[in-house]
Every structure is written in structure tokens, then in C-alpha cells.
A and B are shown apart, each in its own frame.
Chain A
Amino acid sequence: MTESIALLTIFVLAAFVGVEVISKVSSTLHTPLMSGANAIHGVILVGAIIVTGQADSALVVIVGLLAVVLATVNMVGGFVVTDRMLEMFRGPAARKKELHK
């Protein structure tokens, strides 16, 4: 199996997993789903680091660093704001328990 076929296989399987997992998400949580999925694509940060780390010319490094900043904003901001939202969805019982601790 060549590498490109392996990657294509991963792509197709991941698409099925994505549809399967997301169709079970309760509609109550559609906003956190959108922002959570948003945070996940911030993982392009990994690509930004790889490419910047291999760059030679100053111009490419600067563009790469810009990509690193943008991707980090996406990733960190996305996870933090999703956490803020989901924190509010805990039931009142859980909140009381925390107060008593």
C-alpha cells in the first residue's frame, strides 16, 4: 500500500467516525460542539511549527511565525471558551457540592 492510499483510507474512515460521533451530540450542546470542533482544527499549529522549523529564509520564517500565532489563538481560545460554556451546563447539584467542599 502506497503512502497516498494509506492517507486516503485514513481520510475516509475519519469522515465516517466524524459523522457517526457528531450525529449523537445532543442539540442542547450544538454551540459548544461548534466551538469545540473549532478548537480541534487549531491543531494546524502542529503543521505551522513543522514548516516554520524547516524554513531557511527570513521571509518564510516570519510568515511561519504569523501562522503559529494565528493557529495558537484558534486552539487555545477554542478550548478555553468551550470549557467556559460547558462549565455552565453542570447541574445545580454539582455546583452545590463544589460550594460545600
Chain B
Amino acid sequence: MIATWAQIGYLVSAVCFIVALKALSSPRTARTGNLLGAAGAVLAVLITFIAYKPHHLVPILIALVIGAVGGAIGSRRVQMTHMPQLVALFNGVGGGAAALVALMELGEVESGETVAAIATAFTIVVGAISFSGSIVTFAKLQELMTTRPVTFPGLPVLFVAGILGAIALSGWLVSDPRVWVGVLLCLVGLAVGVMLVLPVGGADVPIVISLLNAFTGLTVAAGGYVLGNTLLLVAGTLVGAAGTLLTKLMADAMGRSVFNILFGAVRGGSTLGAGTVSDRPVISGGAQDVAILLAYAQRVIIVPGYGLAVAQAQHTLRELVEVLQGRGVKVDYAIHPVAGRMPGHMNVLLAEAQVPYDQLREMDEINPDFKATDVVLVVGANDVVNPAARNTPSAPIYGMPILNADEAQRVIFLKRSMRPGFAGIENELLYDPRTTLLFGDAKDSLTKLLAAVKTV
């Protein structure tokens, strides 16, 4: 048992974490809250050094500095478009750390302490799953490997065998806590993690990040139980709850169940369509025509997608919107919950371009407005305005709530090519007679549009 003052210190840290999450309810308080959370973490580490008086102090401090420098450099350098893979990576190393802590703690668990042994086994296997799963997610998002679902005959059998093996080994570990069984369990966990994420593809990958985040949280909570450390228990549980809730919100935003996302490809269906391109006629226009449409509209809604961010065109888009607003056009941004590559990602990308967050409207809020809208400008988005989600039961994205861009008077797509979006399915709206396509890189097209609108 550690000293009372240290326990109280840990309680203060735990409160800091809760307040940090609570502060995220508004963009105004969020940053201060995050700093408070960081302060809570520093406090917790200081208390640990003083209260536990660890041996090997110098190597531990060196390891701390290496980790801190690595983490800080990584997160300073990352581009905002690459945020999902960074979160996946950080999540993975956290899960890995938890699994290692539980492995080391295995020597301390005595046979007979059933609950502690169960918690240890849980931490080892789920931590390992989280680690290897996150690394595969990272590789997919960074496009180090294909983003399409990877399956092979026998994968479901192997996966189930892995799960059963993990359960059996956990049972063994509980009845007889030996380190080598723990190591074996860890290896099985790593394999299960890889098999869990491999068949997930396309737009579903970000949901897996959120799920693995919840896994790591629960792992840390279980680790807290093993060590009898209340701070780890509280912090881990908070993250577990956050991750679970977010996973559900995200799955709802795509109109799919978490089960379907994880095992859809194994059973034959997934969000990835055939990826074919048809040669039906479309109406394409020049920047001048589109500029006139925009400049003489009364109400314009912008639908930004990941393609906008890839082209780094957010700043140009904001300038265009400002010019239009200067002409008296009412302009809003419609943000689909899964625009970008993770929930809320588009908000971050637009905030980076200094778009005021009160101009960003959520899907449910803006959907009734499309009927009374003159022009919808879709920049680098596709699946989130695809009416197939509503009309075509056979479409892989059927059931996903979409932005009702098809209800507007005119729709303009800024597109690089006719290649389908992230989900790989064709969009009927592109062939609609009210739709105009402006081909080209989003940044080039927006720059031309901006120049043209200024002269109208």
C-alpha cells in the first residue's frame, strides 16, 4: 500500500483527466482542459517517482526522455491529414506498453489470486491485440499496404482458433501463472490483432482506431486492477467508455453495425465496391461558368471532403467563401460526421485553415436547408452525397445517412477524375442533368474559381 498523500495526489490527477474530457464540450474551453490533463499526467508521474522510489532510476529517466522526445517530435511534425494514422500509432504503443507491464507483473501474481490473474491475462491479450491491430491500421492509412480488405481462405477459421487459443491460454494462466504461458498468450494476441484488422477496408478503418482505443483503455484499467493503482483504473475506464461511445456514434453515422464493419469482408460484403468507372456522359464546365453560378446564387452550401485536404486547398476555399460572403451570398459548410478519415477530422482540417467553427454545420442541422439552396459545391467529397446510400439497397453504403445535396437546384463537383470515392462505388448524382463537373486538382480549380468570381 502506498502513502495516503500519494493516493490523494492520484485522485487529483484522475480529476484532471475527467475535467480535461469535460472541457471538450466546447472549443473555447477545450485547450485549457487538455493542458490540465497534461498537468495531471505530469503530477501522476512525479508522485510515482517519489512514492514508489523505483530502482534503476537513471535508466528509467533516460527511457522517459527518449519517449518524450520521440512523441513530441512525431506529433509536432505530423500533417493534419495524417492525424488518424498518428492516433492509431500512439494507441498501439500504449497497448503494447500495457501488455508488457502485465507480463512483468505476472511474476508477482500468486496462484489463488483468481481475479488478479484474470485481469493480468486480459491485459496481456487485449494489449497485444491493440498493439498489432493498431500497427496494421497505421500501415493501411499510411498506404504502406493496400487499403482494401485483405482476406484469404481459412482466415475465419484461423481467427476463431486464435480466439479459442487465447481463452484456453488465459484459463491456464489463471490456474497456473507462469511467465512463458503469458508470453505465448501475448503472441496469440498479436496474431489475433492482425487478423482482426486485415479484413477491414476502405472507410471502415477509422472506426477500428476508435475501437482499439477503447481496447487499450480497458487494458490500462485492468492493469490498474492488477497493480492496485486507482489512477490507472479510473483513467483506463474513462478511455474505455469514450472509445466505446465514439465507436458506436461513428458506426451509426455510417448506418452500419460494428459487427458488420469488423466481419463484413469475411462474410462477403464490405463498403468497398467494384471500383469500376462507367463511360456515361457527364456535364463538365469551366471555372468561368461555375463562378457565375456561385456569384449570383443567394444560398450556397459547401460540402468539403478528404480530397480538399489532400490538395491542401482549405485556405483557398476559405478565401472563395469570404469573397462570396462579401457579395451577400449566404454560405455554410456542411460537415458529414465521417468527412475526412475519422469523426470530426474535417473540422480539424478546416480549423487549420482558420474557418470559423460557427460556419460549420452538422448533417442533421443542415439537411433540411438543401431544398432551398441554389448551389451545392462539393469539393473532394463523393460518398457522403451519394444518393445510392438512400435508393440502392444493393450498394455497399446503403443505409449510411448522407447530405441531401441532390435536393438542391444545382450541384457542382470539383473532382480530380471520374474515379470513385473511398468506398469505391459510383455516384448517380454525377450524371444528374443539374450537376456540373469541374475537373482538376482541388487547389487549382479553387484558385481559378476564386479569380473568376472576383471578376464577375
Contact = CB atoms under 8 A, between A and B. Distances in A.
Nearest to A45: B45
Contact of B245 (A22, A71, A75, A91): A22
Given A73-B74, A75-B41, A86-B34, A65 B63 contact: yes
B267 interface: no
Contacts of B345: 31
Nearest to A29: B24
A58 to B, nearest CB: 10
A90 interface: yes
Contact of B224 (A4, A28, A47): A47
A49 B356 CA distance: 43
B221 A89 contact: no
Contact of B59 (A43, A65, A67, A72): A65
A47 B344 contact: no
Interface centre among A44, A79, A82 (most CB of B within 10 A): A44
Interface in A41-82: 41-55, 60-61, 63-82
Interface residues of A, number: 78
Contacts of B27: 26, 28-29, 86, 89-91
B231 A74 contact: no
Which of the listed residues B44, B87, B216, B228 has the most CB atoms from chain A within 10 Å of its own CB? B87
Given A41-B235, A55-B104, A72-B68, A50 B54 contact: yes
Interface string A1-24: 001100100110011011101111
Contacts of B70: 69, 72-73, 77
B74 A32 contact: no
A4 B362 CA distance: 44
Contacts of A41: 91, 94, 98, 213, 216-217, 219-220, 235-236, 239
Interface string B67-89: 11011101110101001001100
A15 B218 CA distance: 10
B103 interface: yes
A76 B90 CA distance: 10
A10 B221 CA distance: 10
Residue among A42, A70, A85 with the highest chain B CB neighbour number at 10 A: A70
A88 to B, nearest CB: 4
B227 to A, nearest CB: 5
Contacts of B220: 41, 43-44, 47
Given A32-B34, A69-B70, A46 B45 contact: yes
B184 interface: no
27 contacts: A7-B233, A11-B225, A18-B21, A27-B337, A28-B27, A28-B360, A29-B30, A30-B246, A30-B342, A31-B340, A31-B342, A33-B246, A34-B209, A35-B90, A36-B34, A43-B235, A44-B219, A45-B97, A46-B229, A48-B97, A49-B45, A49-B48, A53-B60, A68-B97, A80-B71, A85-B348, A85-B351
Interface of B: 13, 17-18, 20-22, 24-28, 30-31, 34-35, 37-38, 41, 44-45, 48-49, 52-57, 59-60, 63-64, 66-68, 70-72, 74-76, 78, 80, 83, 86-87, 90-91, 93-94, 96-98, 100-101, 103-105, 107, 115, 209-210, 213, 216-217, 219-221, 223-225, 227-243, 245-246, 249, 337, 340, 342-345, 347-348, 351-352, 354, 356-357, 360, 362
Given A4-B115, A26-B26, A69-B67, 20 more contacts: A22-B21, A27-B337, A29-B24, A31-B343, A31-B347, A34-B210, A38-B90, A42-B41, A43-B220, A46-B48, A46-B232, A52-B54, A55-B55, A63-B100, A68-B97, A70-B93, A72-B68, A86-B30, A86-B31, A89-B31
Interface of A: 3-4, 7, 10-11, 14-15, 17-19, 21-55, 60-61, 63-92, 95
